[in-house]
Amino acid sequence: MHSTTHKVGDKLVPALTIGFISLFLLSSLIDLSLVTRVIQSMFSSVTSHFGYAWQWLMVINFAVAVLIAVTRYGKIRMGKQAKPTIGTFRWLAMIMCTLLAGGGVFWSAAEPIYHFITPPPSFDGLVGSSVEAVTPALSQSFLHWGFLAWAVLGTLATIVLMYAHHQGGVKLRPRALLYPLMGDRLENHWLGSVIDACSIIAVAAGTIGPIGFLASQLGYSLESVMGIENTVTSQLGILAVVVAVYSVSAFTGMDKGLQWLSRLNVVGAFALLLVMLVFGPTQFIFEHFGSAFAMYVEQLPAMSLNTDAPAWNSWWTWFFWGWFIGFAPMMAIFIARISEGRSIRELILTVAIGAPIVTNFWFTVLGGTGIFFELQSPGSISGPLNDAGLPAVLLASLSQLPFSSLLVPAFLVLTTTFVVTTGDSMAYSISMVVSGDNEPSKFQRLFWAIVMGCVAAVLLVAGDGGLNALQSFIVITAVPVSLLIAVTLITGPIAVMRMQLHEKEKAQIWQPECASSTI
C-alpha cells in the first residue's frame, strides 16, 4: 500500500504541472483575449482580498528572521557539514544572480523613473519630475526590492527546508515546509503533491514570463541599436539562443554551468557598475542613495503597511509581494541546496540584509542615472518610456553616457545572463521537486529547461497579452503558496529550536566519547 501511494504521489506532481501548463497554452491559442480577461479579473480579486494580508506576512516574516539571527539561534549551522560545501564568493554570486534575475537590470532602470514622474500616493502633495521627488522615488523602489522581498525568498523557508531535509530525512520539496507540524505524513500523500504542483506552477509562470519578455526587450534593443527589425521571427531567434544557453548550463549541472554563469554575472555587473559610477553622475548617485536609504529605513514600517491607495498597491506593492511569495518555496529550495554548512545568522544577514542593500545601491546607480538626465533634460528619459515602455528606459539612460555604443551591448548581455541563470536554477529546482532527488538527472533538467522555453515561444507567437497574462497569473498562484509561506512563521522558530536541541544532543554524545578516548 505504501509503495502504491508513493507512485501516485510521484506521478501526480508532473501530471498536474504539465496538465495545467498545457491547458493554459491551449486556451491562449484558442482565445487569448478571453484568457487575459479571466486572469485580470482574478488578479483584481486576489489583490483586493489578499493584498493587506500579504503586507503583514512580508513584515512578520522579516521580523522573525532578523530576531532569530540576532539571538543565540543564529550560531546554528545548517545541514550535516561543519563547513560550507560551496565557497563564499560562489555562494553569494549564485544567490544574487538567481534571486535578482533580469528584473535587476530592467526594473532597476525603469521603476525609479516611474515613481519620479508619478509619485506614489503615500507621498501626498509631492510634485512629479521635481528635485524633491528623487529621494521618495528611490525609497519606494527600495521597498519593493529590499529587505522584505529578499527575506521571504530565502530565510525562514530555507531554514525549515534544511531542518526537514537534514534532520528529518525528507526530500527538498515545498511540502517539506510543513514537516515540523506534520512530520513525514505528506511525503507520500496526494496533498503534498498538490502543494508541490502549485509551487512549481507559480515559479514556472514567474520564470517563463521574464524569458519571453527578454526576447521582446532584446528585439526592441537590437532594432534601436543595430537596425534589425523587431518581429516575432527575430524574437523567436533570440529566444532560441537564450533557451539553448540555459539548457546547456542546466544539463552540465550546478557545479559547472550555474556556478560559472553566476561568477560571470557578478564580475560583469561589478565592472559595469564601476563604469557607470566613473562616467555617470557619481555625486548625485551617492547623495541620493544615502538620503533614499535613510528615508526607506526610517519609514519602513509605515511604507510596508500603507493601505491608503488600494488601486495603486494592486499594480505595485501587492503585485510585487504576490510575485515574490509565488517564487518563495522554489527559491528557498535552491538556496537550501547550496547553503549546507552555513550558519543561520550567515544566511539571514546575507539574504535579508546584505543582498537588499546591494540591490538598492544597484537601483540607485541605474535608476538614479536616468533620473539625473531627466532632471537635466526633461523628456530625455520619460519620452522613450512613454513611447516604448520599460526596455526603453535603460537604453535612453545609457545613451546619455560616454562609450554608450559599448555600454548598451554590455548591459544587454548582462541582462541575458541574469535571466539565463534564473532559468537554469529554476529548471534545476523544478527537477529536484518532480524527481524527489537532490541530484536530478541531466535529462530531467534539460526537459524542464526546454519546456519553459517552448511555453515562452508559444506565448510570443500568441502576442504580448499571453506573456502579460502569465506574469499576472503568478500573483494568483501566490494565494495557495502564501498560505504555505505563512506556516513558516510557526515552523521556522520550531525548526530552529529543534536544530539547537539536536546540536546539544550531539555535543553531549561527543563529550563522553572524548573523555573515554582520553582515559
Instruction: Give the pLDDT confidence of 51-70 residue by residue, as tens digits.
Output: 999 999 999 999 999 999 99
Spelled out in words, what is the top-level CATH class assigned to the domain 63-503?
Answer: mainly alpha
How does residue 216 score in pLDDT terms, banded at 50, 70 and 90? confident
Residue found by looking up cell 484568457 in the block: 35
Query: 196 is written with which cell numbers?
Result: 508541490
What is the distance between the alpha carbons of residues 78 and 166, in angstroms, rounded to a whole number?
A: 8
What is the distance between the alpha carbons of residues 338 and 91, in angstroms, rounded to a whole number?
A: 7
Nearest CA among 417, 414, 442, 416 for reference residue 428: 442
Cβ 444 vs Cβ 431: under 8 Å? yes
pLDDT digits (tens, 9 = 90+) for 395-419: 899 999 998 889 988 888 888 887 8
Q: What is the pLDDT of residue 512?
A: 55
What is the distance between the alpha carbons of residues 24 and 40, in angstroms, rounded to a whole number?
A: 14
How does residue 6 score in pLDDT terms, banded at 50, 70 and 90? very low
Residue 260 clears pLDDT 80, i.e. is over it: no
Cβ 90 vs Cβ 266: under 8 Å? no
How does residue 217 score in pLDDT terms, banded at 50, 70 and 90? confident
Q: What is the pLDDT of residue 229?
A: 86
- Lowest mean pLDDT: which of 271-275, 402-406, 432-436? 432-436
Cβ neighbours, 10 Å, residue 303: 23
Q: What is the pLDDT of residue 102?
A: 57
Q: Which residues, 6 or more positions from 303, have their beta carbon under 8 angstroms from its beta carbon?
A: 122, 139, 140, 143, 296
How does residue 8 score in pLDDT terms, banded at 50, 70 and 90? very low
How large is the average pLDDT for residues 326-345?
A: 94
Cβ 356 vs Cβ 149: under 8 Å? yes
pTM (2 decimals)? 0.91
Cβ 496 vs Cβ 68: under 8 Å? yes
What is the distance between the alpha carbons of residues 321 and 47, in angstroms, rounded to a whole number?
A: 10
What is the distance between the alpha carbons of residues 334 and 199, in angstroms, rounded to a whole number?
A: 13
Residue 354 clears pLDDT 90, i.e. is over it: yes
Query: 80 is written with which cell numbers?
Result: 550535516
Residue 390 clears pLDDT 60, i.e. is over it: yes
Q: What is the pLDDT of residue 7?
A: 43
Cβ neighbours, 10 Å, residue 221: 22
pLDDT digits (tens, 9 = 90+) for 446-457: 999 898 888 888
Q: Mean of the per-residue pLDDT values for the chain?
A: 88
Q: How many residues does the chain have?
A: 519
Question: What is the percent of the chain with per-residue pLDDT over 70, rounded to a whole number?
Answer: 92
Instruction: Using the Cα atoms of residue 364, residue 367, residue 370 and residue 375 in order, give the sign of their dihedral.
Output: negative
How does residue 219 score in pLDDT terms, banded at 50, 70 and 90? confident
How large is the average pLDDT for residues 107-113?
A: 91
Cβ 200 vs Cβ 433: under 8 Å? yes
For 172-176, the CB contacts below 8 A with 24+ separation are 172/333, 172/336, 172/337, 172/432, 172/433, 172/438, 173/333, 173/432, 173/433, 173/436, 174/198, 174/199, 174/329, 174/330, 174/333, 174/433, 174/484
Residue 283 clears pLDDT 60, i.e. is over it: yes
Highest mean pLDDT of the ranges 374-383, 393-402, 412-421, 435-444: 374-383
Residue 383 clears pLDDT 90, i.e. is over it: yes
